[in-house]
Structure 1
Amino acid sequence: MKQLLDFAFAQLTVCQKNNVTLTTLQIMAKGLQVSFAELLAGGKKVPEWAHRLDDNAIRKRLARIIDFERQRRTLHRYEMAELIGVAEATFTKLERASGNISVDTIAAIAKALKLNPATFLFSEKIPPTADLAVFDKVER
């Protein structure tokens, strides 16, 4: 399994120039029978709750992280867009957790915010999404 993850992560690294999207990653994870988080983190350890995230939950999480970091840094939206290197229209999509975000964009956001690109989406600093809390209640 570790070899498959390493191979998949290597493919993602090569494919980044082709803008692999979250939707494509979800398909890859399903095909490899690993969690979306495992594939996205490139084999780095992630919290147990992260293994239940799908591409939609990742978009929501990224939106929460961007908002958290923008408020923490007391930046206006246009300043945050500039900091992470995207157009304001793209920032609005990120903020609304809409659109099909590429791995390149996620990596660029992490780099601009000086966060670990493999694990920042799964940071305990931002609690798991409310969606997971609902999922946990239904599962019990």
Structure 2
Amino acid sequence: MKPFLPFLLIPLLGLGGWAASAWMPAPDPLTIPTVLKLDPPPALGVAIPPPASDGPVAVSLDALLPLLPSEVLRQADTQKPPTVNAILVLGVQRLAQVNGMPMGIGESVGDFRIADIETDRVLFVQHTVGKQRWVPLTDQ
């Protein structure tokens, strides 16, 4: 077989497919189904009303998120934030010694993530609840 023959097969196969599609009957047009009502999962506990027109259904994002149990919220409120032993600010670089470990912005300590470091305090955000707490530098 000559090396150029495979390159001739590709246009021939395309032409054969086009010719076959010309003789085949056209398919039925697709219709978009209409939604009369939405049945959300029972775990959501939220009734979503049907749309007023053929427009999209607006669903609150809070209805789709899982609910936090009250025990988790209570435990997060009583959880003590980490202690800040030292803070180092050199231009744009900011480091804090948290519970004896050097950490930067974005690192996590248990359930707390460091969101900001200032010269005299550190901002912690709790993962589970999203609460923010400023913790001052402890004098030792």
Question: Aligning the two structures, in what range does the TM-score lie when normalised by the shorter sequence?
Answer: under 0.3
With structure 1 as the length reference, what TM-score do the two structures score?
0.21
More helix, by proportion: 1
Higher RCO (C-alpha under 8 Å, 6+ residues apart): 1
| Larger Rg belongs to | 2
